[in-house]
Structure 1
Amino acid sequence: MSRATTELPSTTKAFLARPDTAALTTLRRDGTPHITPVRFTLDTATGLARVTTLAKAREARHVVAGGPGARVALCQADGFRWVTLEGRATVTDDPERLAEAIRRYTARYRAAPPALPGLVVIEIAVDRLLSLNL
């Protein structure tokens, strides 16, 4: 469990619950950042953020190539208000974990993610949170 997410002010929790997109930053093999717009969910009780994507997508491949504990960042912004979630990421196609990610995604965005072959979930154990104006 992450103190970074369990002790969030209600305004920050409300901001992160909005059906907005975020920018997911992963690292290429050469260490340069790759930024992708994504939809995500955050379980504030456990500190786990989830992004559904395809196994062949660059962001998933970067996390896998980064090895166990690859660092990533998610940033949701609205004007001069923003929250960045940082943490260690893993990629899984475990049916139960993928089903939980889809359930949470559907609840937040009021529609399921595309049911495409090769769907995986990037799970981010959030250990740092930065924010402005929340």
Structure 2
Amino acid sequence: MGTQMLSQKATYASYLMFKMAEKYYGLDPAKAYVRLVREVDENEARDKAITVCLKSKGQHFGRLPKERKDGWMEIEIGEFFNVEGDAGEVEICLIEIKDLHWKSGLIVEGMELRPKETRWCIA
């Protein structure tokens, strides 16, 4: 998605909306990140990726999903600040490449970018 479509001088959070099939394999835990393509190198973003656990049950360490009212799960992937709206593309990634085995059972509804609440301070 291009940042010119977003409000300027605003912080955005990125979310993955998903469900897990009854039988899933190889997806937990995973790494996730959001980056402005022109401003953050892909290797740097991968190095700073957060750990996410797509199933809220289990003994994994990392960010956990929350259930939405519509039955889908959502998990925050990261955030970025859109300065002037001309930073190019936003890339949102969910990756698991440490354990090289099959993965199955992830049902993706979509990704969302939402403005984070801004608090104004007048001095």
Q: TM-score scaled by structure 1? A: 0.35
Bigger proportion of residues as helix:
1
Instruction: Flag the structure with larger Rg.
Output: 2
Highest relative contact order (Cα 8 Å, sep 6+), 1 or 2? 2
